[in-house]
Amino acid sequence: MDLSGRTVLVTGASSGIGRATAILISELGGRVVLSGRDAERLSATRAAMAPGDHAIAEYDLSQTDGLCAWLRSVAARSGPLDGFVHSAGVQTTRPLGAVSRADYESVMSVNLAAALWLSKAFRQKSIYRPGAAIVFVASVAGLVGQSGNHVYGASKGGVIALTRSLAIELAGGKIRVNAVAPGLVAGTAISGAFERACTVQQMSAVTALHPLGLGRPPDVANAIAFLLGDAARWITGATLTVDGGYTAA
């Protein structure tokens, strides 16, 4: 689990799973490039991290056309990367009749398209060091059906498929590609949306679907750190469910 001497980009580092991941990487000796849209919140994450030469690189991942140039500029400032974690995500819950093109495009651009274009940029030899690892944050919504969660589930299912394909294509460049698929994690934007939309009884029912209860961001960060490090050197193309037993039911 030691990440000393490694530089890892974490998207969505201002909150939730991305924030917990950035903090844990720093505690394991890694250097982190924190990405998000809100510089103030990114600075708050950096303040909570273990000391190190960490950097902030603001970017709106919905602007996929500029991702390759942006990642080149990140590597030019921070040096070649040993990995990246794509934790940033957009979630919307709509019944099928209410889904709009704007819903579709906002979710797909950040959740799936950004994952693809970040990977395309990352594979350039000036940007990564051999032995690097990519970890995508997918979701159990990409593995099981959830009413009203069509677009989000499709985007995360796409991330899982992308993980398998990229693992094969990038293995020759000594890049491993894996994903984690969390269940409902307390303290994230998604769990907050559930809490606002559900009654106490409904939230109890949702929690009961997770035999071990709802997770916390560090639960998922631990799995991500494992996949980044040498302990997972023979793992690629895998999706690790971190869901308190949700998909086992």
Active site residues: 152
The Cα–Cα gap between 13 and 10 comes to 6
3-state secondary structure of 92: coil
DSSP string for residues in 179-231: EEEE--BTTSHHHHHHHHHS-HHHHHHHHHTSTT--B-HHHHHHHHHHHHSGG
The Cα–Cα gap between 210 and 13 comes to 26
Q: How many CB atoms neighbour CB 86 within 10 A? A: 27
Helix segments in 53-95, DSSP class H: 67-78
Buried b (16+ CB within 10 A) or exposed e, 183-209: bbbbbbebbeebeeeeeeeebeebeeb
Partnered with residue 8 across adjacent β-strands are: 32, 83
